[in-house]
Homo-oligomer: A and B are copies of this chain.
Amino acid sequence: MPEPEILVFSAHAADFCSRAGGTIALYAKRGASIHVVDITFGERGESEDYWLRTELRSEEEAKRTRGEEARAAAAILGATIEFLDYGDYPLLIGRERLERMARVIRARRPDIVLTHWKRDPFNVDHEATADAVLRAAGMAAVPGFDHQGGKVPFPYIFAFEPTVPRNDATGFAPDHYVVIDEVFETKMAALRALRSQTKLVRFYTQWAEYRGFQASQSAGRAIRYAEAFQRYTATVSDRLPAG
């Protein structure tokens, strides 16, 4: 079986890395093609170290800084990246923006899409991204989209972690744990490249340990670090997964 084509939609600059960086690195190591779409630079809401620096600040410079950081992180993980620059806090996505996202999906025909979880009531940009990705995937799949004819199958869509400090309020209940022990250092290196959010390194180390602990309990073997996902779409196969 060839490695799958993977597409990641990230509301802010760093979400793809903090939530799914290990999984991305793991697939990249095996030779899979992974492309990240950063919907915004997270210039307002997810750049706290940037805004706390003493020198002059502007939204434009914040975007430039965060774009460089995200590009560096993606490169470390082994993924390509592009930026839609839709603006954060609030992120609002209308018709043209939806169509652009659908075109990205239609062009790449991913096997797997990774994005945000649908309920994240204290970080509504994440909800807006999840809604838009599901909607754009539906648009990309219909035969009349862009007058092209032909139906495209829905990709398998998985949600990564919602805002971790508010995790309990989101209904997120992972059904897949990806063991990231062998690429954990790569993920950490990528997180360190996201210099406007220095708190990520310590916090996502602790969280990967927690997810690893859960995975150990399920698997009955020692696992140190894991990332958690919940699927939106069903698997069609001639097997059920076994431990």
Contact = CB atoms under 8 A, between A and B. Distances in A.
Nearest to A53: B149
A179 to B, nearest CB: 5
A145 B226 CA distance: 30
Contacts of A57: 147, 149
Contacts of A232: 121
A80 interface: no
Interface in A68-93: 89-90, 92
A76 to B, nearest CB: 20
Interface in A81-114: 89-90, 92, 94-95, 98-99, 111-112
Interface string A214-233: 11011110010010110111
Contacts of A237: 176-179, 241
Nearest to A152: B220
Given A219-B153, A243-B153, A165 B213 contact: yes
Interface string A116-135: 00000111100000010011
B153 A134 contact: no
Contacts of A144: 43-45, 47, 50-51, 59, 62, 89
A240 B123 contact: no
Contacts of A99: 90
Interface string A126-158: 000001001100110011110101111111101
20 contacts: A44-B142, A45-B139, A51-B144, A52-B149, A90-B98, A112-B242, A122-B154, A153-B243, A154-B220, A165-B214, A168-B172, A168-B173, A175-B231, A175-B235, A176-B235, A176-B240, A179-B238, A215-B236, A229-B240, A237-B241
